[in-house]
Chains A and B, each alone.
Chain A
Amino acid sequence: MTYYNDDQQVEIIKNWCKKYGSAVIAGVLVGLAVMYGWQFWQKHQTQKSADASIAYERILSDVAQGNQTQAVKEATQLIQDAPHSVYATVASLMLAKLAVAQQQYPQAITHLQWVLDHGKERAYQQVARLEWARILGEQQQWDTALKTLDTVNDPAYLPSIQEVRGDILLAQGKQQQAQLAYQAALKNLATDSPLRATLLMKVNSVSEEAPLNKVKGVA
């Protein structure tokens, strides 16, 4: 062990300051800058999200009051102002819904395409794919509709994928295939799911074998 007297200690501190002083000050400055920068960035992001959140709430109340034109205008504005916000993604889904209500299917698809290209949160992209497939089914573009269903790539969505598949096949008159799809949907659904009742109705209405044309008398 080495012992230093007071003067020596002062000298050591002085030397240390000379050697590292500027680095320490620079370090503190960098630290402060990063800290304030971080806080500023956070604040800025929060403000942007808050604006988008409020804007989306306004859109919802427009829709609730039946003011579709205003809703479309505000949703379009929101997407333009904050395209990276999750609210823009939801606004785009809302625009698709409003277009569907007017039976403007190509326009609806444009909004769904936007969600696929720019949307935040993968769940909304899966929803957009499912909705796209349904719109194609509505337009009787069966094959494209079924192919679009295949692009939903999260196993958690299997019940809906299979149910929509069943609906499309049934619309084509393919009863047995539709039945298989409905059964697959049911198999993947949680036992306490609120969607079970409707799905069961479908499963129990479609023939497992050849369609019911003529009925053989039982008596």
Chain B
Amino acid sequence: MLQNIHDKVKGWFAAILLGFISLTFAMWGVSNYFNHGSGDVTVAKINGTAITEHELDTAFKQFQQRQQEAGLALPNTPEADKAIKQELLQSLIARRALLQRAQAAHYLVTPGEMEGMLMQLPQLQVDGQFSQQRFSLLLSNLQLTREQYFAQLHDELLMQQVQASFLSTAFALPSDLQRMMNLRDQTRQISYAILSQQSVRENAPITEGDIKTYYEKHTQQFQIPEQVQLAYVVLSLDALTKQTHVADTELRQYYDENKDNFFIKGHQQTFEEATPAIRQLLAQRKAEQQFAADAEKLANLSYENPNSLVDVAKTLNLTVMTTPFIDRQGSADGLTSNKAVLTQAFSEEVYTQGYNSSVININDREQIVIRIAQKKPSTIKPLSEVQQQILALLKQQGVQQQLQQKTTDIVQALNKGKTLPEIAQQYQLQWKIDQMIDRKSVLPVELVTQAFNLKPKGTSPVAADVALGNGDRAVIVLNRVISGANKQLSATEKARPTQEVERSYGLAAFDHFYQSVLRQAKIKINS
């Protein structure tokens, strides 16, 4: 009997086990396709799912590309790269945590939405139409497969949906609008005085020692960045056209075959008359063929002989030329102002390894390959060269210190109960008394900002000083804060403030959601 039960249990156990195994395959089989192959290092784990080094690298590459497209120079040092990667990792983590939460809530991006989005992306439009070619180009630029790109797009849309859910449902109440208008139309009554830089005398003279100390403490400021000189060859369609020889027999043949083309305005051109045009046309055609063939050779030869441009120049009958020295910022014009050239010049392959660059298309008619001719390491300008600069700077600092001391003293005196006339006399200054200002008043912007940043204190006036943009300083005394009057707004007048209030509540709600998700996520970073 017992044995019987035992057998039965075994049987059922086997069944459940098998069922379990099938289930495992059903669920895990799919997700396996998405793994980036084995051996990929995990850099962080969010609620148990990994962010791999590969993902971080991809994000980094995309970041670099965006920077380049925006025309922003990249710091490109290992430390800067590391800092950027840290930042990117944080945002990948936040993004992953949000996506997990959105998926848990069963937010869903439909295929229709994906398609709609893809068709509308402005960078994929040619003449108002979706361009398959542009799409392929985008993928190769991002170094993504179609599936990876769609996965990213999907996540993007999912995040947008979640954000939109908060933004689209936020509302503005009448009192919200009133409160905002009251703040915006607020006026303040202030008294103020402006103290110019000329109102203070120079401090004790600045010594050589002062200058030297400053120089030694701020060497970074006087650094000349590393520079490179580039060697390059240009394959130019225009140059080829000029060099191309067209034989007289070819000219004659073309003329004979296309006589009709030279019957212009009722007049048949003679061969001699037509020759310049034919020569131009045939030279152009030949040059274009030559250009296409040479372009391929340029790519192959510069890749096969990565350590020199001499061979490729010899084969294609080009001259190796050099640029002036440039740093990572490049030059204002010419070849070294070209972003693609700069990017390649300071890339791993070209800058670090010293190889030829890949072919750079300057435009339809010019292709170039570059390599580093010479490197100049980063240096520090000698003290003698920057002495005057430091002297001027220290003088300016001295003046500023004194001016600041003066305005600080005035504020303290005001706080101790000195009156405005007393201060005016003691410090030889002129007050503008009891001025009514609003947020848009035409006064130095720092003065207005500071006046509106001062917190009222009951019935007592509040004093403060502020530095102005031109180097002068101001002392401000706030007397009164007057809330904007309650106004009846028409429907059209309401529209914009309503949107602003809604947006602000919507953003707040999303921001809190985001913070909350991050707080609750289990995040582990492998350093």
Which chain A residues have a beta carbon within 8 Å of chain B's beta carbons?
19-20, 22-24, 26-28, 30-32, 34-35, 38-39, 45-46, 49-50, 52-54, 57, 60, 63, 85-86, 90, 93-94, 96-97, 100-101, 103, 120-121, 123-124, 126-127, 130-131, 134-135, 137-138, 154-157, 159-160, 163, 167, 171, 190, 193-195, 198, 200-216, 218-219
Contacts and interface: CB of A to CB of B under 8 A. Distances in A.
Contacts of A209: 457-458, 460
B404 interface: no
Nearest to A63: B168
Given A86-B105, A194-B504, 20 more contacts: A20-B11, A27-B16, A31-B19, A32-B22, A34-B26, A35-B25, A49-B106, A86-B107, A93-B165, A121-B105, A137-B173, A156-B515, A160-B508, A198-B504, A204-B452, A206-B455, A208-B455, A209-B457, A210-B459, A219-B420
Nearest to B180: A198
Given A120-B105, A218-B461, A138 B22 contact: no
Contact of A97 (B17, B108, B169, B507): B169
Given A90-B165, A156-B515, A198-B504, A23 B175 contact: no
Chain B binding surface SS class? helix
B512 A160 contact: yes
Interface string B500-513: 00001001110111
Contact of B508 (A30, A195, A204, A206): A195
Contact of B512 (A32, A120, A157, A219): A157
B23 A207 contact: no
Interface string B137-174: 00000000000000000000000010011101111011
B39 interface: no
Contact of B509 (A45, A96, A127, A210): A127
Given A27-B18, A121-B105, A195-B504, A160 B509 contact: yes
Contacts, number: 197
Nearest to B482: A212
List of 7 A-B pairs having minimum Cβ-Cβ separation, nearest first: A31-B22, A27-B18, A209-B458, A27-B15, A156-B516, A23-B11, A93-B169
B183 A205 contact: yes
A93 to B, nearest CB: 4
A206 B458 CA distance: 9
Contacts of A20: 11, 14
Interface stretch (B70-78, B220-228, B381-389, B473-481): B473-481
27 contacts: A28-B22, A30-B15, A31-B22, A34-B22, A53-B109, A53-B113, A60-B164, A90-B169, A97-B171, A103-B174, A121-B105, A123-B509, A123-B512, A127-B509, A134-B173, A137-B173, A159-B508, A167-B175, A167-B179, A195-B504, A195-B511, A205-B186, A209-B458, A212-B456, A212-B480, A215-B461, A216-B459
